Structure 1
Amino acid sequence: MDKFKTLVITIILVFLAFIAAWFSLFNKFKIFPPKASSNPTSNIQITETQQNVSLKVVFPDDNVNYIKEFKAENNETAYSILTEALEIRKIPYETKKYDFGVFVKSIKGLESTAQKSWIYFVNGESGAVAADQYRLQAGDKVEWKYIPPSGE
């Protein structure tokens, strides 16, 4: 009987050690609550408007043609909200797919050329990747402008 008890206790201890090692290696569950932040703004709740992304399409001479807010979805890109907005308003556009991503060739007859192109900005910064590769976050403000490629 003592051998059986010892065997059961050993199996239980090995099992518990295995579980403890598993959690420490993969850290899937936090046993302790998170430490309080010294940054007082870290506890601010995101409001409903911050859970949206906004789109603004600016035509030459700063004539804003279209402004729209979208619910921030997991796979929204600067390109996907542009095409959705243009299709809603039935504004014609052309794109071309390249290895690096999609390029906007024209919107409402205004074609991208060496002198002027459709360039997107997110939160005031020009996109560093193709618009269909830029994943949006809640609160992002997307602007599409028909401007010289240098951004002037």
Structure 2
Amino acid sequence: MKQWLFRFGSFLVAIALLVGCGNEDSGTTAPSSNQPSENQVTQEEQAEETVLITISKDDGAEYLHEKEIPIEEGDILMDIMEENFYVETEQNGEFITSIERLSAKEGEKKGWIYTVNGEMPNVGATEYELKPGDKVVFDFQAWE
């Protein structure tokens, strides 16, 4: 009987040690609900260092492409477009005639219009300096 009690007691002690070790704090603390974790901060910082470029046609009736693109301070919109999309230009590279091979047919009064954060900039894409978080839309639409 004593031997059985000894084994049973040893078994309980072993279980208690395993349970205690399993709950032991490994030196890290869980983030509080009102403090962002490192991953959240990294994702927010990354989102702030990107722009979202949407390619559409007919005043947004059809979306052709959308891409989130990392940028650096001072990046110019036309450079980012040429690096990430198939773009054709005329007038010394200042006027976009085709994006992703979509262009006006001969005699068709359509062209590429762009907005940034819902507003039409006062400068062309060759002069527009992007800011992190910008939402750029290039829309192929009738201009008459």
TM-score (norm 2): 0.58
Tell me which residue corresponds to 1:82. Answer: 81
Match of 2:132 among 138, 141, 144: 138
Match of 1:102 among 94, 103, 120: 94
1:119 is paired with a residue of what secondary structure? strand
The answer to whether the Cα contact below 8 Å between 2:90 and 2:97 also exists between their aligned partners in 1 is yes
Would you say how many aligned residue pairs link Structure 1 and Structure 2? 99
Cα displacement (A) at 1:70: 1.3
Cα displacement (A) at 1:86: 1.4
List runs of 5+ in structure 2 lacking aligned partners.
1-40
Match of 2:56 among 25, 36, 58: 58
The answer to whether the Cα contact below 8 Å between 1:55 and 1:67 also exists between their aligned partners in 2 is yes
CA-based RMSD of the aligned residues comes to 2.6
For each residue in 1:113-140, what CA deviation from the matched residue of structure 2 results, as whole angstroms up to 9, or x when unmatched? 7722101111011121110100001111
TM-score (norm 1): 0.55
Tell me which residue corresponds to 2:109. Answer: 115
The structure that has the greater radius of gyration is: 2
The answer to whether the Cα contact below 8 Å between 1:119 and 1:147 also exists between their aligned partners in 2 is yes
List runs of 5+ in structure 1 lacking aligned partners.
1-44, 88-92
2:94 is paired with a residue of what secondary structure? strand
State the identity %. 28
